[in-house]
Chain A
Amino acid sequence: MKKIEAIIRVERFEEVKEALKGLSYPGMTKTLVEGHGKQKGLTQQFRGTTFEVEFTPKVKLEIVVLDEDVPQMLSVITRSARTGETGDGKIFVLPVESVVRIRTGDRDESAI
């Protein structure tokens, strides 16, 4: 079992969600987050003067899947979240030790 954490553009979220439809995953959690990557934020302006926005808004998706589903998930998210510009985000894959479905008490792979 792996957890996929994808930090993507806010405006690509709908695209990614649609692309994931029909794929094998149990559910997803979406969080609005703020952060920056290597480009260290971006510049905006107000009343003729610029200012640096260090932390830009992003969407963080968290999805736990079976090991064999990981490659397909990664390629679909990558394709649907990409614009080719700086700030497209990153995907992290983490090992998951255990899963419990609270309603039934099911464990691990049967709980996914």
Chain B
Amino acid sequence: MNLRGNVTKIAIRGVLTFGLVCLIWLAWVATRGSGIALAADPTGLGGTADVAIDYVWILVCAFLVMFMQPGFAMVGAGFTRAKNAGNFMTKNLMDFVIGSLTFFFVGYALMMGGDWHGLWGTEGWLMLGDYYDVDKYLSMFWMLVFCGTAATIVAGAVAERLKFKAYLIYSVVVCAIIYPIYGHWVWGGGWLSNLPLGVGAVDFAGSGAVHAVGGFVALAGAIVLGPRFGRYDKNGKPRAIPGHSITLAALGVFILWFGWFGFNPGSTFNAHHLRIAIIAVNTNLAAAAGGLSALLISRWRTGKWDIGMLLNGILAGLVAVTAPCAWVEGWAAIVIGLIGGVLMYASVKFLEAKGVDDPVGAVSVHGACGLWGLLSVGFFADGTYGNYSIEAPYITGLFYGGGGEQLLAQFISVAVVVAWAFGTGYLTFKLMDKAFGIRVSPEEELQGLDIPEHGTPAYPDFLAMPK
């Protein structure tokens, strides 16, 4: 017991010391050539009306994306039990707290700070020097709210049993390394975006860079943790553990649906691309189609109009259309959403049969449908919109005579995101597990994490807690 306690203490001190050393080093590197270079414009001198419209558009959309944080929090809390609701809220708040700081310190530099051999960025640490600039800050804020989304997706899959401490460390790793590096590969001028196939791998608003990254780190976490007590009976037959509030979960889905109108249309990063109208409609159509197909398949398979499946189906449609939303027609968005809903259902059943316990369905919604979203660009892109540009080269998929090149580029991106996110996620959770054990004690799990981890139940005077 003592030995284990000491190992834990040493591990935590090691991580903290390492973090501190890194920060000091970064500050030193960043300020070495200090004195603000001429290129930087921290004042905002270029504020013509044209530029201002873009800034307002991007910032308003970014605020909408930030508001997806409470959406995720409500979905996750609603789908899990009241005895863990306070813990779930704390984790959801802390991944954005940690993400906001970490991504500002190192994440943005790795993701968007130039390019080193197509692998990662090397400048802009702490947004100092040339990066103290209105354009850079705008871009940093945009990428940060996406980073927060990727980080918070994992909370649902590891809910009700992951130690709070482990969640804090995981949040640092995902916001400092896992999200920025793959983000660099597709969005920061890295190697995936420069594949000599089609226009290179593309991912308009982040089916892969945000959702599949979150989804596959989530899968790694759920596998390392193992299922919750009571999720499988003595014979290994799965049994559901119902969440404590369908009302909160539905509110969360409405909030996410709304937030997605910032997530996707805002990803033009330009208010002058009138394509934003098409993107907004496509986003909405896929959400509706995903919800409908998931509801119908659950009615067919179980005889019930399953509300949980409807909610996740809407999210599945949204995740799937996130990569293709700017490049497809409305009918294609519907097809992409319909397939997303069915894929999510199949994935939930598959994971359940394989003994993976994902309390809210995050892996199926964000992982499986994120991959489908990436692939769907290669099929449905119709050659009417460019690479974040209204000018050629336009992106054309298999069904519009573009041949298989773009599809192949998308397929490579799929394989890479699975390997990268699952691999780094697995390593992160496994190393933490070896160092101090990432799962709470059986007693704590049965009691619920609210009181042992945080000292207070979420509903002290409102709900009777079952003994």
Give the docked Cα–Cα distance between A86 and B243 (Å). Answer: 27
Interface secondary structure of A, over-half rule: strand
Chain A 28-49 per-residue mask, 1 if CB under 8 angstroms from chain B, else 0: 0000000000000000111111
A52 located at the interface, meaning its Cβ lies under 8 Å from any Cβ of chain B in the complex: yes
| CB-based nearest A residue for B309 | A48
Alpha-carbon gap, A46 to B304, bound state (A): 10
Q: Which residues of A contact B238 (CB under 8 A)?
A: 49
Q: Which of B112-120, B213-221, B345-353 lies at the interface?
A: B345-353
In which size bucket is the chain A interface? Answer: under 10
A98 at the interface (CB under 8 A from B): no
A48 touches B349 (CB 8 A): yes
On whether the beta carbons of A51 and B242 are closer than 8 Å, the reply is yes
Question: For A48, what are the chain B residues with a Cβ–Cβ distance below 8 Å?
Answer: 298, 301-302, 306, 308-309, 345, 348-349
The complex places the Cα of A68 from the Cα of B352 at a distance, in Å, of 59
A44 contact set on B, CB distance < 8 A? 242
* Residues of chain A within 8 A of B240, CB atoms compared: 45-47, 49-51
Chain B residues lying within 8 Å of A52, measured Cβ to Cβ, are: 239
**Chain A residues whose CB sits within 8 angstroms of the CB of B304 once the complex forms:** 45
Judge whether B79 is part of the interface by a CB distance below 8 angstroms.
Answer: yes
Distance A63 CA – B306 CA, assembled complex (angstroms): 40
Contacts of B361 in A (CB 8 A): 47
Does B267 reach chain A (CB closer than 8 Å)?
no
For the complex, what is the distance from the CA of A50 to the CA of B309, rounded to whole Å? Answer: 13
CA of A45 to CA of B302, assembled, Å: 9
Residues of A with C-beta under 8 A to B284: none
> Which B residues from 239 to 271 make CB contacts under 8 A with A?
239-243
Tell me the smallest distance from the CB of B341 to a CB of chain A, in Å. Answer: 12
Residues of A with C-beta under 8 A to B349: 48
- By beta carbon, the residue of chain A nearest B303 is A45
CA distance A50 to B239 in the complex (A): 6
Question: Quick check: is B322 within 8 A (CB to CB) of the other chain?
Answer: no
A48 and B312 alpha carbons, distance in the complex (Å):
11
Is A51 a contact of B239 with CB atoms below 8 Å? yes
User: Considering the chains assembled together, what is the distance between the CA atoms of A49 and B352 in angstroms?
Assistant: 9
Minimum CB–CB distance from B92 to chain A (whole Å) comes to: 20
A residues 46-82 near B (Cβ < 8 Å) are: 46-52
Query: Contact between B239 and A47 (Cβ–Cβ < 8 Å)?
Result: no
- Nearest CB in chain A: distance from B80 CB, A: 11
Which residues from chain A contact B242 at a C-beta distance below 8 Å?
44, 46, 51
Q: Chain A residues near B301: list those with CB within 8 A.
A: 48
- A42 smallest CB distance to B (angstroms): 13
Chain A residues with CB under 8 Å of B308's CB are: 46-48
Which residues does chain A contribute within 8 Å of B309, judged by CB atoms? 47-48
A102 to B239, CA, bound (A): 50
Encode A7-46 as 1/0 by CB contact (under 8 A) with B.
0000000000000000000000000000000000000111
Instruction: For chain B, residues 115 to 161, give those with C-beta under 8 angstroms from any C-beta of chain A.
Output: none
Please name all residues of chain A whose beta carbon is closer than 8 Å to the beta carbon of B345 when the two chains form the complex: 48
Asked if B243 and A46 make an inter-chain contact with CB atoms under 8 angstroms apart, the answer reads yes
A51 to B233, CA, bound (A): 10
- Minimum Cβ distance to chain B for residue A50 (Å): 6
A44 to B439, CA, bound (A): 29
CB of B6 to closest CB in A, whole Å: 42
Interchain CA distance A48-B349 in the complex, whole Å: 8
**What are the interface flags for B151-187 relative to A under an 8 Å C-beta threshold, 1 for contact and 0 otherwise?**
0000000000000000000000000000000000000
Whole-angstrom CA separation of A48 from B241 in the bound complex: 11
What does the 1/0 interface line of B349-377 toward A look like (CB < 8 Å)? 10010000000010000000000000000
Kindly state the separation between the CA atoms of A52 and B238 in the bound complex, as whole angstroms. Answer: 11
Q: Which residue of B lies closest to A47 (CB)?
A: B308
Residues of B within 8 A of A47 (CB): 79, 240, 306, 308-309, 312, 348, 361
Cα of A65 to Cα of B352 in the assembled complex, Å: 54
The distance in angstroms between the C-alpha atoms of A6 and B348, with both chains bound, is: 43
- Chain A hits for B239, CB < 8 A: 49-52
Name the residue in B239, B298, B345, B352 with the highest tally of chain A Cβ atoms < 10 Å from its Cβ.
B239
Contact, CB under 8 Å: B241 / A45: no
A66, chain B: closest CB distance, angstroms: 36
For residue B124, give the distance in angstroms from its CB to the closest CB of chain A. Answer: 42
Kindly report which residue of chain A lies nearest to residue B301, judged by CB atoms.
Answer: A48
How near does chain A come to B370, taking the closest CB pair, in angstroms?
19
* Distance of A72 Cα from B239 Cα, bound (Å): 45
A50 to B238 CA separation, bound complex (whole angstroms): 8
| A positions within 8 Å CB-CB of B | 44-52
B residues bordering A, Cβ < 8 Å?
79, 238-243, 298, 301-302, 304, 306, 308-309, 312, 345, 348-349, 352, 361
The 10 residue pairs across chains A and B that have the minimum distance between CB atoms: A47-B308, A49-B240, A46-B240, A46-B242, A51-B240, A51-B239, A48-B309, A48-B298, A48-B306, A46-B308
8 more contacts with CB within 8 A, not counting A45-B240, A48-B345, are A44-B242, A45-B302, A47-B240, A47-B308, A47-B312, A47-B361, A48-B306, A49-B240
Supply 27 A–B pairs (Cβ within 8 Å), ascending by A: A45-B240, A45-B302, A45-B304, A45-B306, A46-B240, A46-B242, A46-B308, A47-B79, A47-B240, A47-B306, A47-B309, A47-B312, A47-B348, A48-B298, A48-B302, A48-B306, A48-B345, A48-B348, A49-B238, A49-B240, A49-B352, A50-B239, A50-B240, A50-B302, A51-B239, A51-B240, A52-B239
